[in-house]
Amino acid sequence: MSTSANSNRSVRDIIVFLLGAGLAAVVLVILYYTLPLEDEDSTVVTNDDTSTIAENVEDSTPLTSQGSQPTLSYDGDSLEDIFTNYSTTFDVFAALYSLVSRSNEDELVDLFNESLTYEYSESNDPWLPDGIRRTILSRLVHVNDELAGSLFLDLESEQQTSLSYTLAREWASVDLDGAVDFVASLPDSIYVPAATRAILSLNQNLPIDELKTLANRLGDTDYVHNLIEQDLLQEEAENPAEAWANLLSAGPNTLTSENRSRINNIVKAWIKEEGVAVLDTMTEAIEDEEFKESITRYGLRLVAEDNPEAAFDYAIQFDSGGGLFGMSYNPYMYSILNEWVEESPTDALNKVLSVESTSQRNQYVDNVFSSWARNDINDMVDSIPSLPSEVQDAARVSGISHLSRDSIDDALSLFDDLENDAKKNQAAMSIAFSWAEKDPEAALNWAQTNPNTESIRSQVTGTMLTALASKDPEKAFNIALELPLNEDGVGLEASVLGTLAYTNVDKALELLPKVRAGASQKTAYMGVGGGLAMNGRITEAIELGKELTEEEQLNYYTTVGAMSLSGSMMSGLTGSEPEMDVFATLDAIPLEEARSLVAVQAIVMDQLSNSYSDDEIESLKEYISEDDMEDLEKGLEQMEAMPSIPFLGL
Summarised one tens digit per residue, pLDDT across range 138-176 is 999 999 999 999 999 998 888 888 898 999 999 999 999
Which amino acid does the sequence have at 326? G
Q: Which residues contact 502 (CB under 8 A, 6 or more apart)?
A: 531, 534, 535
Complete DSSP assignment for 515-582: SPTTHHHHHHHHHHHHHHHHTT-HHHHHHHHTTS-HHHHHHHHHHHHHHHHHHHHTHHHH----SS-H
**Could you give the CA distance from residue 83 to residue 89 in angstroms, rounded to a whole number?**
10
With left for phi above 0 and alpha for psi between -120 and 50, is residue 549 left, alpha or beta? beta
Rg over alpha carbons for the chain, rounded to the nearest Å, is 42
CA angle 479, 484, 489 (to 5 degrees): 120
Highest mean pLDDT among 65-74, 225-234, 565-574: 225-234
Lowest mean pLDDT among 68-82, 225-239, 579-593: 68-82
Q: How far apart are CA 58 and CA 82, in angstroms?
A: 13
Most confident of 69-83, 102-116, 244-258: 102-116
Contact status, residue 569 vs residue 593, Cβ threshold 8 Å = no
406: confidence class by pLDDT, cuts 50, 70, 90: confident
Weakest mean pLDDT among 23-27, 406-410, 470-474: 23-27
Q: For residue 375, how many other CB atoms are within 10 A of its CB?
A: 13
Residue type, 180: V
Coil, strand or helix at 640: helix
**pLDDT over 50 at 232, yes or no:** yes
**Between the CA of residue 36 and those of 15, 33, 42, 344, 393, what are the distances in Å?**
33, 8, 7, 71, 85
Residues ≥6 apart with Cβ < 8 Å to 95: 74, 75, 76, 82, 85, 86
Identify whether the C-beta of residue 512 lies closer than 8 Å to the C-beta of residue 524. yes
- The more confidently predicted of residues 581 and 529 is 529
Q: 3-state class of 377 per DSSP? A: helix
- Does the structure show a pLDDT above 70 at 576? no
Q: Is the pLDDT of residue 15 over 80?
A: no
pTM of the model: 0.59
Q: Which of 10-14, 376-380, 429-433, 449-453 has the lowest mean pLDDT?
A: 10-14
Report the run of H or E that residue 376 belongs to, with start and end. helix 358-383
Of 7-16, 333-342, 470-479, highest mean pLDDT:
333-342
Partners of residue 63 on adjacent β-strands:
71
**Can you tell me the distance from the alpha carbon of 25 to that of 636, in angstroms, rounded to the nearest whole number?**
117
Residue 34 has pLDDT above 50, yes or no: no
Q: What are phi and psi of 476, to 5 degrees?
A: -60, -45
DSSP state of 254: G
CA distance linking residue 315 with residue 329, whole number of Å: 11
| CB 158 within 8 Å of CB 190 | no
> Considering only CA atoms, which of 650, 647, 595, 601 is closest in space to residue 623?
595
Distance CA 277, CA 313 (A): 11
DSSP state of 68: S
Sign for the CA dihedral angle at 214, 215, 219, 221 comes to: negative
Q: Cα separation of 104 and 648, whole Å? A: 71
Burial of 277 (0-12, 13-18, 19+ CB in 10 A): exposed
Confidence of residue 494 (pLDDT cuts 50, 70, 90): very high
Q: Delimit the domains of the chain by residue range.
A: 74-202, 308-387, 520-650
Considering Cα of 145, then 149, then 154, then 160, what sign does the dihedral take? positive
The per-residue pLDDT for 160 is 87
Rounded CA separation 505/533 (Å): 10
Confidence of residue 570 (pLDDT cuts 50, 70, 90): low
Question: How many residues are given for the chain?
Answer: 650
- Comparing 184-193, 355-364, 542-551, which segment has the lowest mean pLDDT? 184-193
**Average pLDDT of the segment spanning 197-218:** 87
Look at residue 387 in the predicted model and tell me its pLDDT: 96
pLDDT bucket at 571, cuts 50 / 70 / 90: low
What is the distance between the alpha carbons of residues 476 and 616, in angstroms, rounded to a whole number? 44
Amino acid at 47: N
Q: Give Cα 377 to chain centroid, integer Å.
A: 23
Q: Work out the end-to-end distance of the chain between its first and last CA atoms, rounded to an integer number of angstroms.
A: 137
Predicted confidence at residue 188, as pLDDT, reads 74
Instruction: From residue 12, give the alpha-carbon distance in Å to each of 2, 3, 9.
Output: 15, 14, 5
Rounded-to-integer distance, Cα 383 and Cα 392, Å: 9
Taking a C-beta distance cutoff of 8 angstroms, is the pair 220, 200 a contact? yes
| Whole-angstrom distance, CA of residue 63 vs CA of residue 68 | 10
Res 578: pLDDT = 61
pLDDT of residue 57 exceeding 80, the answer is no
Q: Which of 352-361, 537-546, 609-618 has the lowest mean pLDDT?
A: 609-618
Which pLDDT belongs to residue 411?
94
- In one-letter notation, the amino acid at residue 296 is T
Q: Indicate the pLDDT class of residue 10, thresholds 50, 70 and 90.
A: very low
Give me the pLDDT at residue 65, please: 38
User: Is the distance from CB of 470 to CB of 498 less than 8 angstroms?
Assistant: no
Q: Which amino acid is at 643?
A: P
Which of 241-255, 374-388, 483-497, 611-625 is predicted least confidently? 241-255
Kindly report, residue by residue over 262-300, the tens digit of the pLDDT.
899 999 999 999 999 999 988 888 888 889 999 999 999
Taking the C-alpha atoms of residue 629 and residue 635, their distance in angstroms, rounded to an integer, is 10
Overall average pLDDT of the 550-576 stretch: 77
Q: Per-residue confidence at 7, pLDDT binned at 50, 70, 90?
A: very low
Q: Which of 293, 298, 288 is nearest to 266 (CA)?
A: 298
d(CA 587, CA 623): 9
Confidence at 13, pLDDT banded by 50, 70, 90: very low
Across the range 99-128, mean pLDDT stands at: 89
CA dist 123 and 452 (Å) reads 61
Interatomic CA distance for residues 569 and 548, integer angstroms: 28
Distance CA(220)–CA(195), nearest Å, equals 11
Per-residue CA distances from 340 to 275, 333, 367, 394 (Å): 17, 10, 11, 18
